[in-house]
């Protein structure tokens, strides 16, 4: 029981519990906040795995931008009141059952088929954020140039689309 | 010295929770957030494998996933706002006009 | 017998015209008859018959010029099958020319008479266009009879035999929708049917005889048959001759097949005269004479034939005594005289038989035609009286006498044939009376009339060879004279018993002239074969054809006995009927005296009733049973309806419709549709519009696929 292991377990406990919290909370804002916590926890995981750039990106984009956007919309639309009757009574138990099955299956298949062998080596002390960024930048612009460019176009389209969607149509009478 | 299997199990659990959330909750925004959770679980697995195999490909992939997720959220939330404008509700059970 | 295949002298080439002349006559009448007047139609027919007579004379002359040689003149080939070679050949010899002369001669006279008779008859029965049909049938009869007598083989003879049977049917049923009194009825057509059916029974015998003939002797042609018959067992010839006797009994009205002839009086009187007195009924006698070589081989058959003839003669004569219808008396008289002829040829006295045939043709035709004249006279009187009543009723007062006489003329059914309605006709119809008297005397056998000579010859032969036959025939001769006397007293003497008789008128010349000719022949006809040396003309003539002819001299004993018997019978009839003539409404005097015997005679000894009970009624019952029960109830009603139709219905309705179609095929077809509908209704529920459930479906799919991948 090394220190990393304990650390990992504690963090994973937090991650799982915040996930459950997001799932089960009645208030949408609480769900969003739980999710933010989850994202932060996952960012810490990234750090443990020696991906500091990604960790920063996670916090900045995911927890910072995306979740804030979520919170904006939640507050805009208001925490809705749930209608009293449940329309699909069999949905929840079945979903839970199937989800557990999926989890078991996924674990099983990834472990047996993929057969990863080995331990995650914690990052060496000499791991430098700047080194990582430079390496990533090199890879991005050399091997993964096309996806990079396409992703930029995608972001452009998303922006335009979002604006177009909420624009009020001028009705022609 | 965490065995990679633990990361995989964790990723699976998080993914499963996300799936349950998509299927169970009626609030469209909560469903959206569960989708983000699922993406995150997948990202975690990517990074874990990338770290195991001592390659940057995993991180690059996660980079792209995050970018796409951002775009998707933007558009998706715009859509939800639009739906709210016409239906006055974001309960997905009330959006069953396509029932047969 | 001499044969001449090559015709050297004579008119033999005219032979086919004895058949074709009447045929041409009838064709002219059929095709053009509706445009010709009655006189023309009758003349055409009479001329056709007369031409046949002239040719017969020429043929007879040719035969005698050829010294009696038999000439066989072939007209056409007929049947050539295997061993059977038959042609339509005319056999011209003395026997056939004799028959031809009688048929065509008497036939022509009757044709002429019939012009007058039918002229009145169609007016009494109100169907003038039917005049033409009568003469067509008469000519057809002459043609058929000529075929019969001129045939060279039994089969040719049979063609004519059947043909005259047909003509008999057609002519008896001439007024087929009426009865003799002119009322609508089945009576006349029943009489025609009876004649045909009874004749058929006789024909059956003839056919069996010809089958045996062909089977045993190998041919139908006369000469071949007679030659071959010499060489076969007598049993075969006996069978042939006895079966032929059945045919003769049918055609010549002998016991037991005579019953059709009295009913045949339903036809017009010329028919009765021609067919049922002079010609058709003599065909049987001709047949036996022609088959003489066969009969001479089997004496037992000869005796049976003679016995049949003699018994028939006596039987029929007794019935004739009790009849009231003038024609029925003559009919039974015909049967009786035919019995004489059949007895004669049965005894081997072929010449006597043929002689009596000829003389009988003369006086019986005379008697029938005179009776027809009487009947028409009474009918004329009846109509005359009715007119008088019609006109007289309004002017004169209604006394009781007038009412009685009136009732007599109107309302009641008047039978012109009934002798009880006649009386005193010798004053109203003198010519008819005189010729009738001549005929009666000839029939009764009073010297020197023709009937005496021919009947005497038969009796002479019988007395010599067959005493029992002689006894029967003598008694029959007694009765013959008696009933003819009775008829004379009842019809012509005394007072008219009905106003119709009182107003009777004589017949026109077209009818009385043939009567006078026939009366003349009845007087001098005896000269044909007088039993004196050198005068056996007919005997010599027929000797050419027949092998042996016994030419007997006159035996005064036999002749004397027969004359005495005839005169005694006439005296007796005068005593019963002539002395106190019958008055209107009186019963026959013999009824009182003989009682049940007379009733038996009057009712024809109930022979018809016997036949009805034994043969006709069971037959009708059987045929009704077969028709009603077997055919209708069983076959139609049950079998067709239940079995066939029912099975078919079951098959189509139940089996195919209900089970195969409705439950089977429809179930499958409809079921398919219903299933598809149910499936779609059920599956539609999956589209509930909720995105979450769609997502769940996706998850289910993912789980399953991943599971599959794991297990693989």
Find the closest chain C residue to A111 by CA distance: C710
> Distance (Å) from the C-alpha of residue C663 to the closest C-alpha of chain A?
41
Find the CATH number of the domain harbouring B34. Answer: 1.10.287.3510
| Residue contact B100–C688, C-beta within 8 A | yes
| Residue contact A70–B77, C-beta within 8 A | yes
Domain residues for the domain of A139 are 3-79+91-166
SS3 string, C380-437, reads HHHHHHHHHHHHHHHHCCCCHHHHHHHHHHCCCCCCCCEHHHCCCHHHHCHHHHHHHH
Find the closest chain C residue to A88 by CA distance: C693
| Residue contact B20–A23, C-beta within 8 A | yes
Q: Where residue C148 falls among pLDDT bands split at 50, 70, 90?
A: very high
Chain C residues with beta carbon closer than 8 angstroms to that of A102: 699, 702-703, 706
Q: List the structure tokens of C204.
A: 């059956």
C418: β partners: C325
Q: What is the ipTM metric for this complex?
A: 0.90
> Is the pLDDT score of A143 beyond 60?
yes
Task: State the pLDDT at residue A104.
Answer: 86
Distance from C-alpha of C607 to C-alpha of C328, rounded to nearest angstrom: 15
Residues C263 and C368 grouped into a single domain: no
B17 touches chain C (CB under 8 A): no
Mean pLDDT of C49-69: 87
Task: State the pLDDT at residue A81.
Answer: 59
Chain B residues with beta carbon closer than 8 angstroms to that of C691: 92, 95
Number of domains in chain C: 2
> Looking at the domain assignment, is residue C548 inside a domain?
yes
> Looking at the domain assignment, is residue C1 inside a domain?
yes
Task: State the pLDDT at residue A126.
Answer: 52
> Looking at the domain assignment, is residue B99 inside a domain?
no
Identify whether the C-beta of residue C345 lies closer than 8 Å to the C-beta of residue C90: no
> Is the pLDDT score of A173 beyond 60?
no
For B57, other C-beta atoms within 10 Å of its C-beta total: 14
Distance from C-alpha of C186 to C-alpha of C175, rounded to nearest angstrom: 10
In this structure, the strands spanning C70-81 and C3-4 are parallel
Number of domains in chain B: 1
> Looking at the domain assignment, is residue A132 inside a domain?
yes
> Is the pLDDT score of C404 beyond 60?
no
Distance from C-alpha of C494 to C-alpha of C696, rounded to nearest angstrom: 138
Of the ranges B55-69, C439-453, C647-661, which is most confident? B55-69
Contacts of A88 (CB under 8 A, 6+ apart): B93, C688, C690, C692, C693
Identify whether the C-beta of residue C22 lies closer than 8 Å to the C-beta of residue C60: no
> Looking at the domain assignment, is residue A147 inside a domain?
yes
Percentage of chain C lying above the pLDDT 70 cut? 94
Find the CATH number of the domain harbouring A35. Answer: 1.20.120.1200
Task: State the pLDDT at residue A110.
Answer: 74
Distance from C-alpha of C188 to C-alpha of C702, rounded to nearest angstrom: 110
> Looking at the domain assignment, is residue B98 inside a domain?
no
Q: Where residue B1 falls among pLDDT bands split at 50, 70, 90?
A: low
Residues C60 and C157 grouped into a single domain: yes
Find the closest chain A residue to B79 by CA distance: A165
| Residue contact A121–B79, C-beta within 8 A | no
Residues C196 and C333 grouped into a single domain: no
Higher pLDDT, C583 or C207: C207
Q: Domain ends where: C599, C628, C662? A: C599
Q: What angle do CA C468, C472, C473 make, to 5 degrees?
A: 115
> Looking at the domain assignment, is residue B35 inside a domain?
yes
Identify whether the C-beta of residue C541 lies closer than 8 Å to the C-beta of residue C94: yes
Chain A residues with beta carbon closer than 8 angstroms to that of B47: 45-46, 49, 51, 54
Residues C286 and C322 grouped into a single domain: no
Please state, rounded to an integer, the average pLDDT across all residues of chain C.
Answer: 85
Q: List the structure tokens of C320.
A: 């004739």
> Is the pLDDT score of C294 beyond 80?
yes
> Looking at the domain assignment, is residue C142 inside a domain?
yes
In this structure, the strands spanning C84-92 and C70-81 are antiparallel
> Looking at the domain assignment, is residue B36 inside a domain?
yes
> Distance (Å) from the C-alpha of residue B25 to the closest C-alpha of chain C?
9
> Distance (Å) from the C-alpha of residue B1 to the closest C-alpha of chain C?
29
Q: Where residue C158 falls among pLDDT bands split at 50, 70, 90?
A: very high
Identify whether the C-beta of residue B37 lies closer than 8 Å to the C-beta of residue B21: yes
> Distance (Å) from the C-alpha of residue B98 to the closest C-alpha of chain C?
5
- Look at the pTM and tell me if it is higher than 0.90: no
Contacts of C188 (CB under 8 A, 6+ apart): C172, C173, C174, C175, C176, C177, C178, C179, C180, C266, C267
Helix axes C17-32, C38-65, angle to 10 degrees: 170
> Looking at the domain assignment, is residue B38 inside a domain?
yes
Domain residues for the domain of B28 are 4-90
> Is the pLDDT score of C658 beyond 80?
no
Q: What angle do CA C398, C404, C408 make, to 5 degrees?
A: 125
C-alpha pair distances (Å), C399 with each of B86, C221, C500, C637 = 131, 75, 20, 65
Lowest mean pLDDT among A83-87, B84-88, C672-676: A83-87
| Residue contact B51–A139, C-beta within 8 A | no
Residues C140 and C103 grouped into a single domain: yes
> Looking at the domain assignment, is residue B30 inside a domain?
yes
| Residue contact B100–C684, C-beta within 8 A | yes
Most A CBs within 10 Å, among B6, B12, B45, to test the A interface: B12
* Cross-chain CB nearest to B44 (options A2, A42, A107): A42
SS3 string, C310-370, reads HHHHHHHHHHHHCCCEHHHHHHHHHHHHHHHHHHHHHHCCHHHHHHHHHHHHHHHHHHHHH
> Looking at the domain assignment, is residue A84 inside a domain?
no
> Looking at the domain assignment, is residue A159 inside a domain?
yes
Number of domains in chain A: 1
> Distance (Å) from the C-alpha of residue C690 to the closest C-alpha of chain A?
9
Tell me how long chain A is.
173
A158: left (phi over 0), alpha (psi -120 to 50) or beta: alpha
Distance from C-alpha of C317 to C-alpha of B19, rounded to nearest angstrom: 137
C556 touches chain B (CB under 8 A): no
Chain A residues with beta carbon closer than 8 angstroms to that of C702: 102
Distance from C-alpha of B9 to C-alpha of A8, rounded to nearest angstrom: 12
Chain B residues with beta carbon closer than 8 angstroms to that of A70: 29, 32-33, 73, 77
> Is the pLDDT score of C471 beyond 80?
yes
Q: Domain ends where: C578, C599, C620? A: C599
Task: Look at the block and give the residue holding tokens 């029912």.
Answer: C646
DSSP A90: T
- Cα-flanking dihedrals φ and ψ of residue C348, to 5°? 100, 0
| Residue contact C689–B97, C-beta within 8 A | yes
> Looking at the domain assignment, is residue A85 inside a domain?
no
Chain B residues with beta carbon closer than 8 angstroms to that of C692: 22-24, 26, 92-93
- Element holding C81 (H helix, E strand): strand C70-81
Task: State the pLDDT at residue C562.
Answer: 86
Mean pLDDT of C508-514: 85
Lowest mean pLDDT among A118-122, C42-46, C150-154: A118-122
Residue contacts between A and B (CB atoms, under 8 Å): 222
Identify whether the C-beta of residue C505 lies closer than 8 Å to the C-beta of residue C590: no
> Looking at the domain assignment, is residue C224 inside a domain?
no
> Looking at the domain assignment, is residue C10 inside a domain?
yes
Most A CBs within 10 Å, among C696, C698, C708, C711, to test the A interface: C696
* Cross-chain CB nearest to B92 (options C684, C688, C691): C691
């Amino acid at each position: 029981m090394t220190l990393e292991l304990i650390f990992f377990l504690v963090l994973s406990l937090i991650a799982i519990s915040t996930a459950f919290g997001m799932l089960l909370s009645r208030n949408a804002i609480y769900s969003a906040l739980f999710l933010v916590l989850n994202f932060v926890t996952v960012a810490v995981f990234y750090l443990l795995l020696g991906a500091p750039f990604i960790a920063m990106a996670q916090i900045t984009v995911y927890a910072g931008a995306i979740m804030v956007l979520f919170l904006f919309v939640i507050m805009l639309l208001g925490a809705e009141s749930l209608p009293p009757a449940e329309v699909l009574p069999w949905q929840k138990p079945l979903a839970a059952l199937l989800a557990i099955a999926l989890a078991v299956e996924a674990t099983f298949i990834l472990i047996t088929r993929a057969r990863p062998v080995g331990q995650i080596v914690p990052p060496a002390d000499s791991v430098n954020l700047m080194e990582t960024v430079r390496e990533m930048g090199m890879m991005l612009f050399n091997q993964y140039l096309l996806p990079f460019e396409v992703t930029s176009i995608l972001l452009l389209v998303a922006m335009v689309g979002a604006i177009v969607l909420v624009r009020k149509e001028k009705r022609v009478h | 010295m965490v065995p990679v299997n633990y990361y995989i199990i964790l990723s699976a659990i998080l993914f499963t929770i996300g799936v349950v959330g998509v299927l169970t909750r009626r609030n469209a925004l909560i469903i959206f957030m569960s989708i983000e959770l699922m993406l995150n679980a997948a990202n975690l697995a990517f990074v874990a494998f990338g770290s195991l195999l001592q390659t940057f490909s995993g991180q690059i992939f996660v980079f792209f996933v995050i970018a796409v997720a951002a775009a998707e959220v933007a558009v998706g939330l715009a859509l939800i706002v639009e739906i709210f404008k016409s239906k006055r509700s974001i309960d997905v059970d009330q959006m069953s006009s396509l029932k047969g | 017998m001499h044969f001449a295949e090559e015709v050297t002298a004579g008119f033999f080439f005219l032979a086919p015209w004895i058949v074709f002349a009447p045929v041409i006559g009838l064709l002219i009448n059929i095709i053009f008859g509706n445009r010709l007047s009655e006189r023309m139609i009758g003349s055409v027919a009479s001329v056709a018959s007369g031409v046949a007579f002239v040719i017969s004379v020429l043929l007879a002359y040719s035969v005698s010029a050829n010294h009696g040689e038999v000439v066989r003149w072939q007209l056409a080939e007929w049947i050539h099958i295997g061993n059977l070679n038959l042609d339509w050949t005319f056999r011209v010899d003395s026997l056939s020319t004799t028959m031809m002369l009688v048929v065509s001669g008497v036939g022509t006279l009757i044709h002429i008479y019939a012009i007058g008779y039918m002229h009145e008859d169609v007016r009494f029965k109100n169907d003038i266009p039917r005049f033409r049909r009568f003469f067509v049938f008469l000519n057809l009869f002459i043609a058929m009879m000529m075929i019969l007598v001129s045939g060279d083989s039994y089969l040719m003879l049979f063609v004519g035999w059947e043909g005259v049977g047909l003509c008999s049917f057609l002519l008896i049923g001439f007024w087929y929708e009426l009865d003799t009194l002119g009322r609508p009825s089945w009576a006349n057509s029943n009489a025609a049917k009876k004649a045909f059916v009874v004749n058929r029974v006789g024909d059956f015998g003839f056919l069996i005889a010809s089958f045996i003939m062909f089977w045993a002797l190998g041919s139908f042609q006369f000469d071949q048959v007679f030659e071959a018959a010499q060489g076969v067992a007598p049993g075969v010839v006996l069978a042939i001759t006895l079966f032929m006797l059945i045919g003769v009994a049918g055609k010549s009205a002998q016991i037991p097949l005579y019953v059709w002839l009295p009913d045949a009086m339903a036809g017009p009187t010329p028919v009765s005269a021609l067919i049922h007195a002079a010609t058709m009924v003599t065909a049987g006698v001709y047949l036996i004479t022609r088959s003489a070589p066969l009969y001479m081989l089997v004496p037992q058959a000869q005796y049976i034939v003679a016995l049949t003839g003699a018994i028939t003669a006596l039987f029929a004569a007794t019935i004739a005594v009790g009849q009231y219808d003038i024609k029925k008396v003559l009919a039974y008289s015909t049967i009786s005289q035919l019995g004489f002829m059949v007895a004669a040829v049965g005894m081997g006295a072929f010449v006597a038989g043929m002689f009596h045939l000829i003389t009988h043709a003369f006086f019986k035709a005379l008697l029938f035609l005179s009776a027809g004249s009487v009947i028409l006279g009474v009918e004329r009187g009846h109509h005359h009286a009715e007119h008088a009543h019609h006109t007289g009723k309004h002017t004169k007062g209604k006394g009781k006498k007038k009412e009685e006489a009136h009732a007599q003329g109107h309302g009641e059914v008047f039978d012109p044939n009934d002798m009880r309605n006649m009386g005193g006709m010798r004053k109203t119809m003198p010519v008819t009376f005189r010729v009738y008297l001549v005929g009666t005397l000839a029939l009764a056998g009073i010297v020197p009339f023709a009937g005496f000579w021919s009947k005497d010859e038969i009796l002479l032969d019988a007395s010599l060879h067959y005493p029992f036959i002689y006894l029967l025939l003598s008694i029959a001769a007694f009765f013959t004279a008696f009933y003819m006397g009775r008829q004379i007293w009842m019809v012509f003497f005394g007072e008219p018993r009905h106003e119709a008789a009182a107003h009777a008128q004589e017949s026109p010349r077209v009818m009385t002239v043939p009567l006078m000719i026939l009366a003349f022949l009845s007087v001098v006809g005896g000269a044909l074969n007088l039993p004196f040396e050198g005068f056996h003309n007919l005997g010599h003539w027929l000797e050419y054809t027949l092998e042996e002819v016994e030419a007997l001299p006159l035996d005064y004993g036999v002749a004397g006995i027969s004359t005495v018997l005839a005169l005694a019978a006439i005296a007796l009839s005068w005593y019963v009927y002539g002395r106190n003539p019958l008055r209107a409404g009186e019963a026959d005097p013999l009824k009182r005296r003989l009682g049940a015997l007379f009733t038996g005679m009057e009712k024809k000894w109930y022979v018809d009733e016997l036949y009805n009970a034994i043969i006709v009624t069971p037959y009708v019952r059987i045929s009704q049973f077969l028709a009603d029960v077997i055919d209708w109830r069983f076959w139609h009603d049950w079998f067709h309806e239940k079995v066939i139709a029912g099975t078919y219905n079951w098959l189509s309705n139940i089996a195919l419709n209900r089970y195969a179609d409705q439950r089977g095929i429809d179930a499958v077809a409809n079921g398919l549709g219903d299933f598809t509908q149910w499936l779609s209704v059920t599956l539609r529920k999956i589209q509930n519009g909720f995105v979450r459930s769609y997502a769940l479906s996706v998850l289910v799919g993912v789980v399953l696929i991943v599971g599959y991948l794991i297990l693989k």
